[in-house]
Structure formats: structure tokens, C-alpha cells
């Protein structure tokens, strides 16, 4: 047997609604039972994107709903931070991913992850991300938080410039 064996993902599609505490508990139990060498996590960014800041200016009702939506996702992000700590304490690898400028990186739970790991910034155009129609590269600046020096060295690739042929994705 060579390499890692993949387990089924913990997603809404596999019956885990991680916005619900009982499903987060069930998912953590699954992680304990399967004892993964690597956990790759990505949490929703929409609630913390730059569009939220703009949309909060559309009035108090919109702002209140946006804030409630952000607060609804805080337990999920805190749970992901718990999984990161668990993996790190076991000497295993955790990789968390979000757009580099997403405000979720400013949360206390993600700040702790960043403090204890490598923070790798990369541009997806350096790994082949292209517009499906124009075939022009998308920059899409991304941040990874993880405990691997090798990943950090190999993935720290930023766009060398803005050639005319580039389309830079600027959404967070």
C-alpha cells in the first residue's frame, strides 16, 4: 500500500450540515475513528467577502441579515480551528484554504490557526486556473494555512505581473 487512503468528505452532500452542532460532533467523531493523516478544509467565504462590506451600506435591515449570517457561520469556523489544533497536536497535516483577502482570516479562531502554521499566499494562475470561456488566466490570490514547510516552499508562487493577455479575478 503506497500513499494515503482517502475517506469520504465531510460535506452537506455526505449528510453533514456543519452549521448544526450535532453534525459537527458527528463529523469530529468520524475524524477520530478514521484518524486521517491529512485534513483539507475550506469554509464558506461569501459571508466574509468584500461584497458584504458594500452590501451592509444598503440599509439597517440588510446589514442586520448579513451580520446574522456571519454569526451563524462562526461556530463552523471555530470547529474547523478545533480540527486544525487536533491534527497539529497529533503531528498530522491540516490545510485550510480561503481567498487571501477574505475577512474570515481576521476572526480569532483563524488568527490562532495562522499563528501556529505556515501562511502560504499563492496566485492560482501559477497553477493553471483559467477562464473556461476566454482561456485567459485568473490570478485569484489564495491563502493556505498549514504545517508543511515543503508545501509552503512549493506553493508560494505569485503572479509575476499583468501581461495584457491576463484577466485577473479580483473577487475575494
164: which DSSP letter? Answer: T
3: which DSSP letter? Answer: S
pTM value is 0.87
117: which DSSP letter? Answer: S
139's CB contacts (< 8 A; 6+ apart) are 123, 124, 125, 159, 166, 168, 169, 170
**Average pLDDT of 20-31?**
98
pLDDT, tens digit, 9 for 90 and up, residues 65-84:
988 999 999 999 999 999 99
Q: To the nearest 10°, report the CA torsion of 86, 10, 12, 140.
A: 80
Contact 103, 52 (CB under 8 A): yes
- Does 134 have pLDDT greater than 50? yes
- pLDDT at res. 80: 98
Amino acid at each position: 500500500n503506497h500513499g494515503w487512503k482517502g475517506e469520504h468528505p465531510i460535506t452537506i452532500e455526505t449528510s453533514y450540515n456543519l452549521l448544526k452542532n450535532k453534525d459537527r460532533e458527528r463529523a469530529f467523531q468520524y475524524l477520530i475513528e478514521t484518524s486521517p493523516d491529512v485534513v483539507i478544509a475550506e469554509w464558506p467565504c461569501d459571508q466574509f467577502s468584500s461584497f458584504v462590506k458594500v452590501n451592509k451600506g444598503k440599509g439597517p435591515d440588510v446589514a442586520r441579515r448579513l451580520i446574522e449570517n456571519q454569526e451563524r457561520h462562526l461556530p463552523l469556523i471555530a470547529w474547523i480551528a478545533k480540527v486544525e489544533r487536533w491534527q497539529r497536536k497529533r503531528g498530522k497535516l491540516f490545510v485550510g484554504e480561503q481567498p487571501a483577502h477574505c475577512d474570515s482570516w481576521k476572526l480569532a479562531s483563524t488568527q490562532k490557526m495562522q499563528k501556529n502554521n505556515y501562511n502560504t499566499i499563492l496566485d492560482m494562475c501559477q497553477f493553471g486556473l483559467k477562464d473556461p470561456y476566454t482561456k485567459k488566466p485568473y490570478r485569484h490570490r489564495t491563502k493556505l494555512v498549514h504545517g508543511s514547510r515543503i508545501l509552503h516552499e512549493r506553493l508560494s508562487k505569485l503572479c509575476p505581473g499583468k501581461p495584457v493577455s491576463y484577466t485577473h479575478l479580483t473577487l475575494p
